[in-house]
Amino acid sequence: MENPGNLSPEKASQKPQSVLERIWAAVSVPLVAVLVAMLFGAIIIASNGIDPIRAYASLFRGAFGDMVAFGRTLEKATPLLFSGLAVSFAFKAGLFNIGAQGQLLFGGITAAAIGFGIHGLPTAIHLPLALFGGALAGALYGIIPGILKTSTGAHEVITTIMLNYIAINITDYLADGPWKDTSASNIVARTPAILDTAIIPRVAELPLGFFLAIVVAFLVWWVLEKSTLGFEIRTAGLNPRAAKYSGIKVTRIIVLTMVLSGFLAGMGGAVETMGVIGRYQPGFNQGLGFEGITVALLGKTHPIGNIFAAVLIGALKAGSSLMQRVGVDPEITSVLQALMLFFVAADVLIRRFIRVGAEEGAPNLSSRWGDSN
């Protein structure tokens, strides 16, 4: 059989990958990264004189032991999934949106303002209005670094970091100033509780906000993989110059990507306000946008991968309280997250580890990676 096209003999002789091989290629690095991180975590726990098996068993029970625990895990995972989607979406255009935290905060406080400030609306109108209002606030805040990048060349990492601090101070001022809960029983900075018509309910202890996040994740996947806009975003991210020569308006794509990324982060803040806290209170949303970076990297910036990554991080958060009962410090959860992020980012080491395992007898499903390294 002749060599088709101009393929090299090696590539021409390669067999098409099976479904299992493609799945393994997608999940092997994050999966092994998690396992290695858990192993290092076990060593740290054991060094403090605590049985790591007992500690991880407590973690599992706290995260998945019953419907209440599972609901708590999904509750923790929901804003992480939205912020992870925001970061992943920007990644596809070659942008690093560290500003998901600020966009999430504006989404959360805007949803709260609509939730407690507008009366007399039925749930069918009030709830989606507050949700969309929060998402729109995040989108409007996301457009700023996009415009700055395209008009002045300012890097989005720098501008989004600065915008995060601006968002923190503005939302703190609003929660302790014009939008503060002035009831006699309140002594802290927070908004009034949102009305029942704006609350995202729970069903059988499971938060509906998480299932909304799953729908959004699949929608993001469709946009990126099946739509013309997604093709333009991915092309601009891979090679902006080639995208420009092919007729894609890269400037428009950059701004639009940051707007949609901010929209996703803002929706995460809105869901946190409407489905978890029931109001906006500074500090309750702290770090959720930054942890979205961990979710995005752990999920390999794939919208569906983000779902599993968000549930994993949510499980660590939900189960950490039960781990503390056996003597594990709460900081261990943060250490595990940091280790996971490190090993996913250092995926060359993980790929080498997988390849060594294959050479020792396991099926070498990662040969495609080995050739690229």
Q: What is the DSSP string of 159-177?
A: HHHHHHHHHHHHHHHHHTT
Residues 254 and 246: their CA atoms lie apart, in Å, by 16
pLDDT in tens, the chain (373 residues): 445 445 555 444 455 667 677 766 667 777 887 888 888 889 988 988 888 899 889 889 989 988 999 999 999 999 999 999 999 999 999 999 999 999 999 999 999 999 999 999 999 999 999 999 999 999 999 999 999 999 999 999 999 999 999 999 999 999 999 999 999 888 889 999 999 999 999 988 899 999 999 999 999 999 999 999 999 999 999 888 888 888 899 999 999 999 999 999 999 999 999 999 999 999 888 888 888 888 998 888 899 999 999 999 999 888 888 888 888 887 787 888 788 777 776 665 555 555 544 444 444 433 333 343 3
Residues 210 and 203: their CA atoms lie apart, in Å, by 11
Task: Supply the pLDDT for residue 331.
Answer: 79
Q: Is residue 321 classed exposed, middle or buried when 0-12, 13-18 and 19+ CB atoms within 10 A define those classes?
A: middle
Residue among 352, 316, 350, 360 at smallest CA distance from 334: 316
Instruction: Specify whether the CB–CB gap between 92 and 300 falls below 8 A.
Output: no
Task: Supply the pLDDT for residue 89.
Answer: 95
Residues 329 and 321: their CA atoms lie apart, in Å, by 9
DSSP-H helix ranges across 93-227? 100-117, 123-152, 156-175, 208-226
Residues 247 and 85: their CA atoms lie apart, in Å, by 27
Instruction: Specify whether the CB–CB gap between 181 and 191 falls below 8 A.
Output: yes
Tokens standing for residue 78: 């929901």
Task: Supply the pLDDT for residue 349.
Answer: 54
Tokens standing for residue 131: 């949700």
Q: Does the CA dihedral 363-22-97-157 come out positive or negative?
A: positive
Residues 42 and 232: their CA atoms lie apart, in Å, by 44
Task: Write b or e for each residue in 226-264: b if 16 or more Cβ atoms lie within 10 A of its Cβ, otherwise e.
Answer: eeeebebbbbbbeebeebeeeebebbebbbbbbbbbbbb
307-313 contact pairs (CB < 8 A, 24+)? 307/81, 307/213, 307/214, 307/217, 309/30, 309/84, 310/77, 310/78, 310/80, 310/81, 310/84, 310/213, 311/73, 311/74, 311/77, 312/34, 313/76, 313/77, 313/80, 313/337
Residues 262 and 104: their CA atoms lie apart, in Å, by 8
**Look-up: residue for tokens 């419907």?**
67
Instruction: Specify whether the CB–CB gap between 30 and 299 falls below 8 A.
Output: yes
Residue among 206, 224, 172 at smallest CA distance from 78: 206
Listed in sequence order, the residues at least 6 apart from 336 whose beta carbon sits closer than 8 Å to its beta carbon are: 37, 38, 41, 316
Q: How far is CA 315 from CA 3, 7, 76, in A?
A: 50, 46, 8
DSSP for residue 198: G
Select from 1.10.3470, 1.10.10, 1.10.40, 1.10.760 the CATH code of 70-318.
1.10.3470
Q: Is residue 284 classed exposed, middle or buried when 0-12, 13-18 and 19+ CB atoms within 10 A define those classes?
A: middle
Task: Supply the pLDDT for residue 16.
Answer: 62
Task: Supply the pLDDT for residue 350.
Answer: 56
Task: Supply the pLDDT for residue 306.
Answer: 94
Residue among 56, 78, 92, 98 at smallest CA distance from 256: 92
For helices 250-272 and 123-152, angle between their N-to-C axes, nearest 10 degrees: 140
Q: What pTM did the predictor assign?
A: 0.84
Task: Supply the pLDDT for residue 101.
Answer: 93
Residue among 323, 347, 291 at smallest CA distance from 44: 323
Tokens standing for residue 311: 């549930």
Task: Supply the pLDDT for residue 359.
Answer: 46
Task: Supply the pLDDT for residue 300.
Answer: 84
Segments of the chain assigned to CATH 1.10.3470: 70-318
Task: Supply the pLDDT for residue 161.
Answer: 93
